[in-house]
Structure 1
Amino acid sequence: MGIIHHIEINVSDLSASKVFWTWLLEELGFSKHQEWEQGFSYKEGDAYIVFVQTADRFLDEPYHRGRTGLNHIAFAVDTKHQVDELYAELQRRGIPLLYPERHPFAGGKEHYAVFFEDPDRIKVEVAARSPFGQTKHIH
């Protein structure tokens, strides 16, 4: 009945976020949806993700996933091989990886995923679809 229509994320540095998210979302099959001076969006199917430059008056307090609000955003890919390819590309790009000592099972022994951070330190997860149609996640 209810599905996600869109998600909007305020970012501290629109240009840095655009570089990061454009590469990642295009890699995951999203296509550019909209772009304007203070933001941009990418779409996959009927859902889209919007990124908007945070107003100067709100930049004094940086984002932290441990506070009330968004903890992380997770995407699913079809195969473990896609997770492995993404992991290698994240390393090449110098993108901060989370839980590298437990990769690719940081979410549990049946959850094959990579965890990393965007320029604002928002945690991002990309997981291979579970063969049982269930997803488990790390907190």
Structure 2
Amino acid sequence: MATFDHLGITVDDVPSASTQFNPVFEALGYTRAHDGEDHAYWRRTDEPEILLYTAREKGTGPHVHGRVGWQHLAFAVDSRDEVDRIHDIAVAAGWSEVREPKDYPRFSDRYYASFVEDANGIRLEIMHNPPRTD
């Protein structure tokens, strides 16, 4: 049986990207396990590692949303307040607000999310979609 082990993300400059990613990942419960010039990574118990690597070719970014490749990575959190809190942390760390926290009834009547993007065009979704209670 295969399991999801880690996610590698290519960025133009690891130290700069690590500075942007770290507050968000810490707010999501990850701990930075390594922070270097050419790679950095975060761990969380029983979760896949998230790694940043330096691009092989400088100046090939940023990624453009909607092109072949990365779409976004969604993190499910426990409440709407957590969506708002982590969204604010990301924006304070220099992430661009793609979509402010709001309801997404086209996904479900309980779906609440925000979308942010870093300088490399990497998009994250912070979302809360509790199970139906009826």
TM class by smaller structure:
0.7 to 0.9
**Correspondence for 1:43:** 43
Mark the runs of 5 or more structure 1 residues left unpaired by the alignment: 134-139
In the aligned structure 2, how far is the partner of 1:94 from the partner of 1:58?
Answer: 21
Matched pairs, number: 130
What amino acid is the match of 2:81? Answer: H
**Correspondence for 1:113:** 113
Instruction: Tell me how large the CA RMSD over aligned residues is.
Output: 2.3
- 1:83-94 counterparts in 2 under 5 A? 83-94=83-94
State whether residues 11 and 52 of structure 2, in contact with CA within 8 Å, keep that contact through their aligned partners in structure 1.
Answer: yes
Q: Deviations over 1:83-112 (max 9, x none)?
A: 122233344445311123xx3124744211
**Correspondence for 2:30:** 30
Q: CA deviation at 1:60?
A: 3.3
In the aligned structure 1, how far is the partner of 2:63 from the partner of 2:71?
Answer: 10
State whether residues 35 and 41 of structure 1, in contact with CA within 8 Å, keep that contact through their aligned partners in structure 2.
Answer: yes
State whether residues 15 and 35 of structure 2, in contact with CA within 8 Å, keep that contact through their aligned partners in structure 1.
Answer: no
In the aligned structure 1, how far is the partner of 2:60 from the partner of 2:24?
Answer: 27
3-state SS of 2:49 partner = strand
State whether residues 117 and 123 of structure 1, in contact with CA within 8 Å, keep that contact through their aligned partners in structure 2.
Answer: yes
Mark the runs of 5 or more structure 2 residues left unpaired by the alignment: none
Q: Deviations over 1:3-38 (max 9, x none)?
A: 310000110122221111111101110012233330
Identical-residue share of aligned pairs (%): 25
State whether residues 107 and 113 of structure 1, in contact with CA within 8 Å, keep that contact through their aligned partners in structure 2.
Answer: no
1:127 and 2:120 equivalent? no
What amino acid is the match of 1:49? Answer: I
Higher helix share: 1
State whether residues 99 and 106 of structure 1, in contact with CA within 8 Å, keep that contact through their aligned partners in structure 2.
Answer: no
State whether residues 76 and 126 of structure 2, in contact with CA within 8 Å, keep that contact through their aligned partners in structure 1.
Answer: yes
